[in-house]
């Protein structure tokens, strides 16, 4: 916008010095905790729970992903909240063991 040339700032040393986590990591954790609470019944939101697609295999497989995430052609569809949470849960191997 103003076209001012400046080097990108790295906040990693500050985060480590203050023992903080990045906003992106906090967002991922919040999404995982939310979907976990939605599934285990800590949150009473049937309209959201209906949107969660559980993966039910027809035969025994080694796949451990708990959700079937629908394919989307756009970033808008790919980043819908419930779909994003299901995708993050599939990518996190420790999801099923979250408290």
Q: What is the pLDDT of residues 46-70, one digit of tens each?
A: 999 999 999 888 888 888 888 999 8
Name the 3-class secondary structure at 54. strand
What the block records as the tokens of 99 is 């408290």
Could you tell me the pLDDT band of residue 8, with boundaries at 50, 70 and 90?
Answer: confident
Cα–Cα distance, 71 to 49 (Å, whole number): 19
The pTM assigned to this predicted structure is 0.80
Could you tell me the pLDDT band of residue 41, with boundaries at 50, 70 and 90?
Answer: very high
* Distance between first and last Cα of the chain: 45
Continuous segment of H or E residues that includes residue 14: helix 12-17
Closest by CA position to 13, among listed 24, 2, 22: 22
Would the pLDDT of 96 be above 90? no
What is the reported pLDDT for 99? 65
């Amino acid at each position: 916008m103003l076209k001012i040339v400046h080097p990108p700032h790295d906040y990693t040393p500050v985060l480590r010095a203050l023992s903080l986590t990045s906003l992106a990591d906090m967002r991922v954790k919040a999404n995982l905790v939310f979907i976990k609470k939605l599934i285990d019944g800590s949150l009473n939101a049937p309209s959201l729970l209906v949107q969660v697609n559980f993966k039910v295999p027809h035969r025994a497989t080694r796949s451990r992903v708990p959700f079937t995430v629908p394919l989307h052609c756009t970033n808008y569809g790919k980043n819908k909240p419930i779909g994003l949470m299901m995708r993050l849960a599939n990518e996190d191997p420790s999801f099923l063991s979250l408290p």
